[in-house]
Structure 1
Amino acid sequence: MQRLQDLRVSNIVRLTSPRTLKDKLPVTEQAADTVVRGRTEVEDILTGKDSRLLVIVGPCSIHDIDAAMEYARRLKELREKLRGDLCIVMRVYFEKPRTTIGWKGFINDPHLDGSFDIEHGLYYARKLLLDINALGLPAATEFLDPFTPQYVSDLVSWAAIGARTIESQTHRQMASGLSMPVGFKNSTDGRLQVAIDAIRSAMHPHSFLGIDQDGHSSVITTTGNPYGHMVLRGGTQRPNYDENNIADAERRLEKARLPKKLLVDCSHANSGKKHERQSKVWESIIRQRVNGTQSIIGVMIESNLFCGNQPFPDNPSKLTYGVSITDACISWEETERMLSGGAMLLKKVAAGTEA
C-alpha cells in the first residue's frame, strides 16, 4: 500500500493531558480567589457596575519567568495603590501569532532555541500564572492554539482573540466557551466589522471538535459568552483611538445591537509600533474619558522592566534582562508615571474638582 498520510510530518510527541498538568500544579484557594475577583471586576466594568478604567498592562510576550515575576510584584503594588480609579490586570502573553514566520511564544519554544519543548512551556506557563495570581494580581492573555485554554484558562481573568485570528471560526467557537470576558481585536487592516461578527458569533452556543481534560478528542458544546467586547488596535497605516474613530465604533456596535464597550490598545498600529507613542494614545483616552466618553472601558499597554526591545537571540544567555524580544515596550518607570498621572486626573474629575 502506498503511504497516504503524514507525508510531511517528521515527528509526533504525545503531551501530558490537561488533567495531569493540573494535578501537578493545582489551583490554590488564594489563586482561585484572585481569578474570580479579576473576572468579576472586568464583568462589572463591562456592565457599568464599576466605573473604573480597566488597564491590561505588561510585556508584549513572556520569555523570562524571573523578569515576569519581578514585573508582577511591582505591578501588584501599583494595582493596590491605584485601585480606586484603575482596575489593573497583568498582560501575560505566552502565544504569539505571526504574519509569516518567527518565534511563536513561550509555550511553543520556551528555551528560545528551536527545540519546541512544548511540555516544558505549558508547565512553566501554568506555574507562572499560579504565582502571579498568588500575589493577588489577575492575569490576561491571548489564546491562539485552541487546545491551550484546557491547560491554563482556569488562571486567566481576561482573554483576547487577536487581529490575525479574528475571522477564524475556530477562535470564535473557542471564545464562546471561555469562562472569562474576551476582547476581540479589529483586523490588522483596521476593519471593525470582523470584530463585531466575532463578538456576535461568540455570544451564541456552538458545538465543535476539541479535547477534554484527559486529552481525548471530544465534541465541545458551549453556551455562549455574554462578555465579548471590541479592542481597537488600529490598522494598516491608520490609528483608530481618536474621537472620530471612537464615535464610528460606537455607531457600528449600536447598529449591531451590541453594547457600546471599547478597549483601546495603546500599542501596535495605534502607536505605529513606536513604544514611545503609547503615552500619546493613553493621554487621548484619559482626555476622552474626562470629557464623558463612557464607551471606552479600558486600555492595553505593552510595558516591561526596561524600554525598547532586542533581537531574537542566537544565544539566549546573552539576552538583556527585562527587555522584550518581540514588540518594543515602555519602561516600568514610564508605566508608573502614565498610570499614576491618569488615575490622578480621573480622581479629580470624579470628585468634581476639575472640568
Structure 2
Amino acid sequence: MTDNRVEDLNIESIVPLISPEQLKQEMPISEAAVASVQKGRQVIRDILDRKDHRIFVVIGPCSIHDVEAAKDYAHRLKELADQVSDTLYLVMRVYFEKPRTTVGWKGLINDPYMNDTFKIQDGLHIARRLLLDLAELGLPLSTEALDPISPQYIQDLIAWSAIGARTTESQTHREMASGLSSAVGFKNGTDGSLTVATNALMSVANPHRFLGINADGQVSIVSTRGNPYAHVVLRGGGGKPNYDSVNVALAEEALAKSDLAANIMIDCSHENSNKNPALQPLVLENVTNQILDGNKSIIGLMVESNLKHGRQNIPANLDDLEYGLSVTDGCISWDETADAILKMRDKLKDILPARNN
C-alpha cells in the first residue's frame, strides 16, 4: 500500500509497459536473424581471441531517428561489408538510447516521435522491428546498453554492445554487462581515465547478482555468469585524443598490469576527432598506420557515419528534418565512409593474415 504522504511525492504517473516476452511473441526472431546474430557474435569473439585475423568496425549513425534512412544506410553497408569481408568485419551501429549531459532527445525508444510524447511502448516496437529487418539482411548489429531494462527487449538481436563513457563507472551497468550475451566494449571515462575502464573489465568478467526484470517483466534477482568478452574502447577525454601510438601503448601497459587481454578498440569520433566528423577518416588512417607499423593490440574501430555529412538540430516542424542527416553527433557522409573503409581494407589486406602469428 502506497502512503502518498511520504511516497512518490515527485512521481507524476507510472504506466505499465509491455513485457519483453509479450514483445517477442508479437515480433519473434526469425531463423535468418538468429543465424545472423550467432555468426556476428562468434566472429567478434574469434577476433578478440585472435582466431580471426580481421579488424571489426562498428560503424553507422550516431543515433537512429528515421527508420527508412536507417534501412537505406544498412543496404549500402551490407554491400560494402561484402566487398571488404576478407579484411574488415563491419558491424552496423543501431543506437536507440542517447545519454544526455543535461537534457535533450533521449533516442528512438524513449521518444520515437521526437515531440516529447515519450511513447516508449511504440519506441520498443519500432526499434525491434528495425533490428529484425536489419538482422535478416545478414548484418551484425550493435547498440549502446544504456537503460538496464531495455536489453531484455532487444539484446537477442545484438552482436556487440557498448557501455558509454558516462556509465562505464556505474555499478549498475557493469552488473548488467556481466550478463549480456554479446561481447561488450567499455569506453574510457569522459576525463580520459583508463582506470574506470580497466576496473569495469575486471568487474564484468565476474558473476553478479542484482535486481532486474525477467522475461515477464517481474522484478527479479538476476544472477549472471560474467562476460569474458569485455574490452576497452579508447574515445579520448579531458579535451584530448588518445588514439595515437603513445596512448595505445599506455593502454596496453594498463591492461597488462591488471592481467587483462590486450584488446583495444579505437573510437574515431568524440574527443578523438575533437567532435569534428571530418577528422574521423584521419583517425582511421592513423590507426591503420599503427597496425602497418606492427601494432597487435588494436582489434576494432568505431566510426560515426550517416548518409550525409554533419548534423542538424531537431526542428519545431519535423517535416523540415533533412533526410540522412544526424540529429545527435556529427557524422561523416556515406561517400566518405566508403572511401575510408576501402582504403583501410586495401592497406591491411596483405598484412592482417600474418598479424596473429
Shorter-chain TM range is over 0.9
Aligned to 2:229: 227
Task: Give the TM-score normalised by structure 2.
Answer: 0.97
Counterpart amino acid of residue 263 in structure 1: M
- CA distance 1:221–1:347, shift in 2 (3 Å): same
Matches of 1:181 and 1:49 in 2, distance apart? 15
Aligned to 2:335: 333
CA contact (8 A) 2:197 2:232 kept: yes
Matches of 1:237 and 1:224 in 2, distance apart? 33
Aligned to 1:80: 82
Matches of 2:36 and 2:269 in 1, distance apart? 27
Query: Which of 122, 126, 129 lines up with 2:128 in the alignment?
Result: 126
Matches of 2:207 and 2:318 in 1, distance apart? 44
- CA distance 1:349–1:2, shift in 2 (3 Å): closer
Counterpart amino acid of residue 63 in structure 2: S
Matches of 2:275 and 2:20 in 1, distance apart? 36
Cα deviation 1:161-189 (Å, max 9, x = unaligned): 00000110000000000000000000111
Instruction: Identify the range of structure 1 (315-324 vs 221-230) with the bigger mean alpha-carbon deviation.
Output: 315-324
Q: 1:313: how far off?
A: 2.1
CA contact (8 A) 1:45 1:52 kept: yes
Matches for 1:7-26 after TM superposition, within 5 Å: 7-26=9-28
- CA distance 1:208–1:331, shift in 2 (3 Å): same
CA contact (8 A) 1:309 1:328 kept: yes
Q: Does 1:29 align with 2:31?
A: yes
Matches of 1:208 and 1:47 in 2, distance apart? 29
Cα deviation 1:219-260 (Å, max 9, x = unaligned): 000000000000000002100000000000000000000000
Cα deviation 1:98-130 (Å, max 9, x = unaligned): 111111111010000000000011111011110
Cα deviation 1:281-328 (Å, max 9, x = unaligned): 000110011111010001000000011000122121210000000000
CA contact (8 A) 1:229 1:262 kept: yes
Matches of 2:67 and 2:93 in 1, distance apart? 14
Percentage of matched positions with identical amino acids:
53
Counterpart amino acid of residue 29 in structure 1: E
Matches of 1:46 and 1:350 in 2, distance apart? 14
Q: Which runs of 5+ in 1 are unaligned?
A: none
Q: How many residues align?
A: 352
Query: Which of 158, 161, 169 lines up with 2:160 in the alignment?
Result: 158
Q: Does 1:254 align with 2:256?
A: yes
| Aligned partner of residue 185 in structure 2, secondary structure | strand
Matches of 2:114 and 2:174 in 1, distance apart? 30
| Aligned partner of residue 177 in structure 1, secondary structure | coil
Q: Which runs of 5+ in 2 are unaligned?
A: none
Q: 1:3: how far off?
A: 1.4
CA contact (8 A) 2:213 2:219 kept: yes
- CA distance 1:219–1:85, shift in 2 (3 Å): same
Matches for 1:1-355 after TM superposition, within 5 Å: 3-350=5-352
CA contact (8 A) 1:307 1:328 kept: yes
Q: 1:351: how far off?
A: 7.8
Matches of 1:148 and 1:229 in 2, distance apart? 22
Q: CA RMSD in A?
A: 1.0
Instruction: Identify the range of structure 1 (4-13 vs 48-57) with the bigger mean alpha-carbon deviation.
Output: 4-13
Matches of 1:2 and 1:227 in 2, distance apart? 45
CA contact (8 A) 2:53 2:353 kept: no
CA contact (8 A) 2:87 2:352 kept: no
Task: Give the TM-score normalised by structure 1.
Answer: 0.98
Counterpart amino acid of residue 61 in structure 2: P
Matches of 2:105 and 2:57 in 1, distance apart? 26
Cα deviation 1:181-201 (Å, max 9, x = unaligned): 000000111000000000110
Matches of 2:256 and 2:350 in 1, distance apart? 30
Matches of 1:11 and 1:280 in 2, distance apart? 48
